Chains A and B, each alone.
Chain A
Amino acid sequence: MRELSLNILDIAENSLKANATLITIDVLAKDNLLTIKITDNGSGMDSEFLSRVEDPFTTTRSTRKVGMGIPLMKMISEMSGGTFSVQSEKGKGTVVTSTYLIDHVDRPPLGDIAQTLISLIGNLNDCDLIFNFEAFDTQFRLNTQEVKEELDGIPLDEPQILIFLRDMINENIKTNFRGVSL
Protein backbone atom coordinates (compact mmCIF):
# COMPACT_ATOMS: atom_id res chain seq x y z
CA MET A 1 0.00 0.00 0.00
CA ARG A 2 1.48 3.29 -1.08
CA GLU A 3 -1.01 5.54 0.71
CA LEU A 4 -2.56 5.45 4.16
CA SER A 5 -5.87 6.22 2.45
CA LEU A 6 -5.70 2.83 0.76
CA ASN A 7 -5.38 1.14 4.15
CA ILE A 8 -8.40 3.14 5.33
CA LEU A 9 -10.41 1.87 2.35
CA ASP A 10 -9.30 -1.68 3.02
CA ILE A 11 -10.12 -1.64 6.75
CA ALA A 12 -13.45 0.13 6.26
CA GLU A 13 -14.45 -2.65 3.85
CA ASN A 14 -14.30 -5.00 6.82
CA SER A 15 -16.80 -2.79 8.65
CA LEU A 16 -19.21 -3.04 5.72
CA LYS A 17 -18.79 -6.79 5.64
CA ALA A 18 -19.56 -6.86 9.37
CA ASN A 19 -22.97 -5.31 8.55
CA ALA A 20 -22.24 -2.03 10.28
CA THR A 21 -24.92 0.65 10.03
CA LEU A 22 -22.50 3.41 10.98
CA ILE A 23 -18.81 3.77 10.19
CA THR A 24 -16.80 6.69 11.55
CA ILE A 25 -13.44 7.57 10.03
CA ASP A 26 -11.33 10.03 12.01
CA VAL A 27 -8.17 11.55 10.55
CA LEU A 28 -6.53 13.79 13.11
CA ALA A 29 -3.16 15.47 12.92
CA LYS A 30 -1.82 17.13 16.01
CA ASP A 31 1.76 18.24 16.54
CA ASN A 32 3.81 15.42 15.03
CA LEU A 33 1.20 12.68 15.42
CA LEU A 34 -1.25 11.52 12.78
CA THR A 35 -4.10 9.40 14.13
CA ILE A 36 -6.42 7.34 11.94
CA LYS A 37 -9.36 5.75 13.68
CA ILE A 38 -12.03 3.60 12.07
CA THR A 39 -15.02 2.85 14.29
CA ASP A 40 -18.00 0.70 13.36
CA ASN A 41 -21.06 -0.74 15.03
CA GLY A 42 -20.91 -4.00 13.09
CA SER A 43 -20.88 -7.56 14.32
CA GLY A 44 -17.54 -7.25 16.16
CA MET A 45 -15.22 -10.11 17.03
CA ASP A 46 -15.06 -12.47 19.98
CA SER A 47 -11.95 -12.37 22.14
CA GLU A 48 -10.56 -15.54 20.59
CA PHE A 49 -10.69 -14.15 17.02
CA LEU A 50 -9.50 -10.75 18.23
CA SER A 51 -6.42 -12.31 19.80
CA ARG A 52 -5.26 -13.59 16.42
CA VAL A 53 -6.62 -10.84 14.13
CA GLU A 54 -3.17 -9.30 13.56
CA ASP A 55 -1.88 -12.60 12.21
CA PRO A 56 -1.81 -12.66 8.39
CA PHE A 57 -3.04 -16.24 8.49
CA THR A 58 -6.28 -15.18 10.12
CA THR A 59 -9.20 -14.44 7.83
CA THR A 60 -12.97 -14.76 7.71
CA ARG A 61 -12.78 -16.08 4.18
CA SER A 62 -13.35 -19.73 3.56
CA THR A 63 -11.72 -19.90 0.13
CA ARG A 64 -8.20 -18.98 1.24
CA LYS A 65 -6.28 -18.81 4.49
CA VAL A 66 -4.65 -15.40 4.18
CA GLY A 67 -5.88 -11.98 5.38
CA MET A 68 -3.41 -9.16 4.85
CA GLY A 69 -5.41 -5.99 5.55
CA ILE A 70 -4.92 -5.63 9.31
CA PRO A 71 -1.31 -6.94 9.37
CA LEU A 72 -0.30 -4.51 6.60
CA MET A 73 -1.73 -1.51 8.39
CA LYS A 74 -0.10 -2.58 11.67
CA MET A 75 3.26 -2.97 9.97
CA ILE A 76 3.07 0.49 8.42
CA SER A 77 2.16 2.10 11.78
CA GLU A 78 5.04 0.45 13.53
CA MET A 79 7.45 1.28 10.72
CA SER A 80 6.43 4.93 11.09
CA GLY A 81 7.11 5.11 14.82
CA GLY A 82 3.42 4.83 15.67
CA THR A 83 1.09 2.38 17.35
CA PHE A 84 -1.70 0.09 16.23
CA SER A 85 -4.61 -1.41 18.10
CA VAL A 86 -7.87 -3.21 17.45
CA GLN A 87 -10.61 -3.17 20.05
CA SER A 88 -13.74 -5.16 19.45
CA GLU A 89 -16.72 -6.60 21.21
CA LYS A 90 -18.97 -9.26 19.75
CA GLY A 91 -22.29 -7.71 18.76
CA LYS A 92 -21.16 -4.15 19.47
CA GLY A 93 -18.54 -3.24 16.90
CA THR A 94 -14.88 -2.65 16.28
CA VAL A 95 -12.42 0.23 16.62
CA VAL A 96 -9.16 0.17 14.66
CA THR A 97 -6.76 2.89 15.81
CA SER A 98 -3.41 3.59 14.20
CA THR A 99 -0.94 6.40 14.75
CA TYR A 100 2.05 7.63 12.75
CA LEU A 101 4.85 10.11 13.36
CA ILE A 102 4.23 12.73 10.70
CA ASP A 103 7.92 13.48 10.11
CA HIS A 104 8.99 9.82 10.06
CA VAL A 105 10.89 8.97 6.88
CA ASP A 106 9.07 5.63 6.48
CA ARG A 107 5.55 7.03 6.84
CA PRO A 108 3.56 6.73 3.58
CA PRO A 109 1.58 9.83 2.60
CA LEU A 110 -2.08 10.06 3.57
CA GLY A 111 -2.82 10.15 -0.16
CA ASP A 112 -6.15 10.67 -1.83
CA ILE A 113 -8.62 10.44 1.03
CA ALA A 114 -11.44 11.87 -1.13
CA GLN A 115 -11.11 8.99 -3.62
CA THR A 116 -11.17 6.54 -0.73
CA LEU A 117 -14.29 8.10 0.77
CA ILE A 118 -16.32 8.09 -2.43
CA SER A 119 -15.26 4.50 -3.14
CA LEU A 120 -16.88 3.68 0.21
CA ILE A 121 -19.86 6.02 -0.11
CA GLY A 122 -20.72 4.52 -3.50
CA ASN A 123 -21.43 1.17 -1.88
CA LEU A 124 -22.75 1.89 1.58
CA ASN A 125 -26.24 0.50 1.00
CA ASP A 126 -28.03 1.11 4.29
CA CYS A 127 -24.90 2.04 6.22
CA ASP A 128 -23.94 5.62 7.06
CA LEU A 129 -20.49 7.12 7.15
CA ILE A 130 -19.08 9.97 9.19
CA PHE A 131 -15.73 11.47 8.24
CA ASN A 132 -13.94 13.72 10.71
CA PHE A 133 -10.85 15.56 9.61
CA GLU A 134 -8.77 17.80 11.83
CA ALA A 135 -5.34 18.99 10.78
CA PHE A 136 -3.36 22.19 11.10
CA ASP A 137 -5.98 24.91 11.35
CA THR A 138 -8.80 23.12 9.51
CA GLN A 139 -11.67 21.01 10.58
CA PHE A 140 -14.10 19.19 8.30
CA ARG A 141 -16.94 16.80 8.97
CA LEU A 142 -19.03 14.86 6.49
CA ASN A 143 -22.04 12.80 7.51
CA THR A 144 -23.81 10.79 4.81
CA GLN A 145 -27.01 10.95 6.85
CA GLU A 146 -27.08 14.73 6.29
CA VAL A 147 -26.21 14.29 2.62
CA LYS A 148 -29.10 11.83 2.18
CA GLU A 149 -31.51 14.32 3.73
CA GLU A 150 -30.44 16.95 1.22
CA LEU A 151 -30.71 14.44 -1.63
CA ASP A 152 -34.34 13.78 -0.79
CA GLY A 153 -34.61 10.36 -2.41
CA ILE A 154 -31.88 10.59 -5.03
CA PRO A 155 -29.48 7.72 -4.41
CA LEU A 156 -26.17 8.56 -2.76
CA ASP A 157 -24.32 6.33 -5.23
CA GLU A 158 -25.19 8.38 -8.34
CA PRO A 159 -21.86 9.14 -10.09
CA GLN A 160 -22.63 12.88 -10.23
CA ILE A 161 -23.25 12.97 -6.47
CA LEU A 162 -20.06 11.02 -5.76
CA ILE A 163 -18.03 13.43 -7.88
CA PHE A 164 -19.59 16.40 -6.10
CA LEU A 165 -18.70 14.87 -2.73
CA ARG A 166 -15.14 14.14 -3.86
CA ASP A 167 -14.68 17.77 -4.93
CA MET A 168 -16.26 19.02 -1.71
CA ILE A 169 -13.93 16.90 0.44
CA ASN A 170 -10.85 18.05 -1.50
CA GLU A 171 -11.84 21.69 -1.15
CA ASN A 172 -12.51 21.47 2.56
CA ILE A 173 -9.50 19.60 3.88
CA LYS A 174 -5.97 20.86 4.17
CA THR A 175 -3.20 18.27 3.94
CA ASN A 176 -0.29 20.67 3.40
CA PHE A 177 0.77 23.39 5.76
CA ARG A 178 4.05 25.26 6.10
CA GLY A 179 6.06 22.57 4.40
CA VAL A 180 4.44 19.73 6.37
CA SER A 181 2.56 17.24 4.24
CA LEU A 182 0.20 14.60 5.58
Chain B
Amino acid sequence: MKSIADIKAIRERMQSQIIMRDNSDSDEIRVVVGMATCGISAGARPVYNAFIDEIAKRNLANVKVTRTGCLGMCKLEPIVEIYVPNKEKVTYCHLDAEKAVNIVVNHLVNGNVCTEYLVNNEE
Protein backbone atom coordinates (compact mmCIF):
# COMPACT_ATOMS: atom_id res chain seq x y z
CA MET B 1 0.00 0.00 0.00
CA LYS B 2 1.39 3.41 -1.01
CA SER B 3 2.27 5.91 1.68
CA ILE B 4 3.79 9.39 1.83
CA ALA B 5 7.23 7.79 2.27
CA ASP B 6 7.06 6.58 -1.35
CA ILE B 7 7.18 10.17 -2.55
CA LYS B 8 10.94 10.21 -2.06
CA ALA B 9 11.45 7.90 -5.07
CA ILE B 10 9.29 10.06 -7.35
CA ARG B 11 11.02 13.16 -6.07
CA GLU B 12 14.44 11.84 -7.00
CA ARG B 13 13.23 10.84 -10.44
CA MET B 14 11.67 14.24 -11.04
CA GLN B 15 14.33 16.58 -9.72
CA SER B 16 16.33 16.64 -12.97
CA GLN B 17 13.25 17.32 -15.09
CA ILE B 18 12.29 20.27 -12.92
CA ILE B 19 15.66 21.95 -13.33
CA MET B 20 15.33 21.71 -17.11
CA ARG B 21 11.90 23.25 -16.96
CA ASP B 22 12.97 26.31 -14.96
CA ASN B 23 14.85 27.55 -18.01
CA SER B 24 11.84 27.37 -20.30
CA ASP B 25 9.05 29.17 -18.47
CA SER B 26 8.13 31.32 -21.44
CA ASP B 27 6.86 28.44 -23.56
CA GLU B 28 4.43 27.19 -20.92
CA ILE B 29 1.07 26.03 -22.25
CA ARG B 30 -1.87 26.55 -19.90
CA VAL B 31 -4.97 24.35 -19.82
CA VAL B 32 -7.76 26.03 -17.85
CA VAL B 33 -10.73 23.88 -16.81
CA GLY B 34 -14.00 25.56 -15.77
CA MET B 35 -14.86 24.10 -12.36
CA ALA B 36 -17.75 26.00 -10.86
CA THR B 37 -20.99 24.21 -9.89
CA CYS B 38 -22.08 24.14 -13.53
CA GLY B 39 -18.80 22.70 -14.81
CA ILE B 40 -18.52 20.10 -12.05
CA SER B 41 -22.06 18.81 -12.53
CA ALA B 42 -21.51 18.61 -16.31
CA GLY B 43 -18.39 16.46 -15.91
CA ALA B 44 -15.39 18.77 -15.47
CA ARG B 45 -13.73 16.56 -12.86
CA PRO B 46 -13.10 13.55 -15.15
CA VAL B 47 -11.93 16.02 -17.81
CA TYR B 48 -9.42 17.56 -15.38
CA ASN B 49 -8.22 14.10 -14.35
CA ALA B 50 -7.89 12.98 -17.99
CA PHE B 51 -5.66 16.00 -18.77
CA ILE B 52 -3.50 15.18 -15.72
CA ASP B 53 -3.22 11.51 -16.75
CA GLU B 54 -2.37 12.16 -20.38
CA ILE B 55 0.11 14.96 -19.61
CA ALA B 56 1.90 12.73 -17.08
CA LYS B 57 1.87 9.78 -19.47
CA ARG B 58 3.51 11.83 -22.22
CA ASN B 59 5.77 13.59 -19.75
CA LEU B 60 4.85 17.03 -21.08
CA ALA B 61 6.89 19.30 -18.86
CA ASN B 62 5.69 22.60 -20.34
CA VAL B 63 1.93 22.16 -19.74
CA LYS B 64 0.15 23.44 -16.65
CA VAL B 65 -3.44 22.46 -15.85
CA THR B 66 -5.39 24.92 -13.72
CA ARG B 67 -9.00 25.59 -12.80
CA THR B 68 -11.25 28.56 -13.08
CA GLY B 69 -14.81 29.40 -12.06
CA CYS B 70 -17.89 29.81 -14.21
CA LEU B 71 -17.17 31.22 -17.66
CA GLY B 72 -20.77 32.30 -18.17
CA MET B 73 -21.75 29.64 -20.70
CA CYS B 74 -23.02 27.00 -18.26
CA LYS B 75 -24.91 24.97 -20.86
CA LEU B 76 -21.69 24.46 -22.86
CA GLU B 77 -19.77 22.97 -19.92
CA PRO B 78 -17.38 21.25 -19.49
CA ILE B 79 -15.40 24.11 -21.01
CA VAL B 80 -11.62 24.24 -21.31
CA GLU B 81 -9.45 27.13 -22.47
CA ILE B 82 -6.01 26.50 -23.95
CA TYR B 83 -3.37 29.22 -23.85
CA VAL B 84 -0.37 28.57 -26.08
CA PRO B 85 2.28 31.35 -26.04
CA ASN B 86 2.04 33.68 -29.04
CA LYS B 87 -1.18 32.04 -30.22
CA GLU B 88 -4.79 33.07 -29.80
CA LYS B 89 -6.70 31.48 -26.93
CA VAL B 90 -8.68 28.39 -27.95
CA THR B 91 -11.94 27.52 -26.16
CA TYR B 92 -13.36 24.00 -26.26
CA CYS B 93 -16.80 22.98 -24.98
CA HIS B 94 -18.91 19.90 -24.19
CA LEU B 95 -15.75 17.97 -23.34
CA ASP B 96 -15.34 14.54 -21.79
CA ALA B 97 -12.33 12.48 -20.79
CA GLU B 98 -11.87 11.01 -24.27
CA LYS B 99 -11.97 14.42 -25.97
CA ALA B 100 -9.48 15.71 -23.40
CA VAL B 101 -7.03 12.99 -24.44
CA ASN B 102 -7.52 13.93 -28.10
CA ILE B 103 -6.80 17.58 -27.28
CA VAL B 104 -3.53 16.65 -25.54
CA VAL B 105 -2.41 14.53 -28.49
CA ASN B 106 -3.53 16.74 -31.37
CA HIS B 107 -3.41 20.25 -29.98
CA LEU B 108 -0.81 20.28 -27.19
CA VAL B 109 1.65 17.81 -28.73
CA ASN B 110 1.15 18.29 -32.47
CA GLY B 111 -0.18 21.84 -32.57
CA ASN B 112 -3.39 21.03 -34.45
CA VAL B 113 -6.53 22.60 -32.96
CA CYS B 114 -9.40 20.09 -32.56
CA THR B 115 -11.89 22.12 -34.55
CA GLU B 116 -14.80 19.74 -33.90
CA TYR B 117 -14.86 20.66 -30.17
CA LEU B 118 -14.53 24.43 -30.60
CA VAL B 119 -16.98 26.66 -28.78
CA ASN B 120 -17.40 28.61 -32.05
CA ASN B 121 -19.43 25.70 -33.43
CA GLU B 122 -22.14 26.45 -30.87
CA GLU B 123 -22.69 30.07 -31.73
- State the A residues within 8 Å of B (CB): 1, 6, 9-10, 13, 17, 61, 63-64, 67-69, 72, 112, 115-116, 118-119, 122-123, 146-147, 150-152, 154-155, 157-164, 166-168, 171-172
Top 10 A-B pairs ranked by shortest CB distance? A159-B56, A168-B2, A150-B7, A69-B37, A159-B52, A68-B37, A159-B55, A123-B67, A160-B56, A171-B1
Question: Contacts A123-B66, A150-B11, A159-B52 given: A164-B2 contact, CB under 8 Å?
Answer: yes
Say yes or no: A161 contacts B67, CB within 8 Å.
Answer: no
Which of A67, A116, A150, A158 counts the most B-chain CB atoms under 10 A from its CB?
A: A158
**CB-CB < 8 A to B6: which residues of A?**
164, 168
Say yes or no: B56 contacts A1, CB within 8 Å.
Answer: no
Interface of A is mostly: helix
**CB-CB < 8 A to A161: which residues of B?**
7, 10, 14
Please name 18 pairs of A and B residues whose Cβ atoms are closer than 8 Å in the assembled complex, sorted by A: A1-B41, A6-B45, A9-B45, A10-B37, A10-B40, A115-B45, A147-B4, A147-B7, A151-B11, A154-B11, A157-B64, A159-B55, A159-B56, A159-B65, A161-B14, A162-B52, A163-B52, A167-B2
Say yes or no: A116 contacts B45, CB within 8 Å.
Answer: yes
Type the 1/0 row for B45-80, where 1 means its CB is closer than 8 Å to any CB of A: 110110011011000000011110110100000000
Number of contacts between A and B (CB, 8 Å)?
A: 98
**CB-CB < 8 A to B55: which residues of A?**
159
Cβ < 8 Å to A, chain B residues 1-42: 1-8, 10-11, 14-15, 18, 35-38, 40-41
Q: How far is the CA of A155 from the CA of B14 in the complex (A)?
A: 10
**CB-CB < 8 A to A154: which residues of B?**
11, 14-15, 18
CB-nearest residue of chain A relative to B51?
A159
Q: How far is the CA of A172 from the CA of B49 in the complex (A)?
A: 19
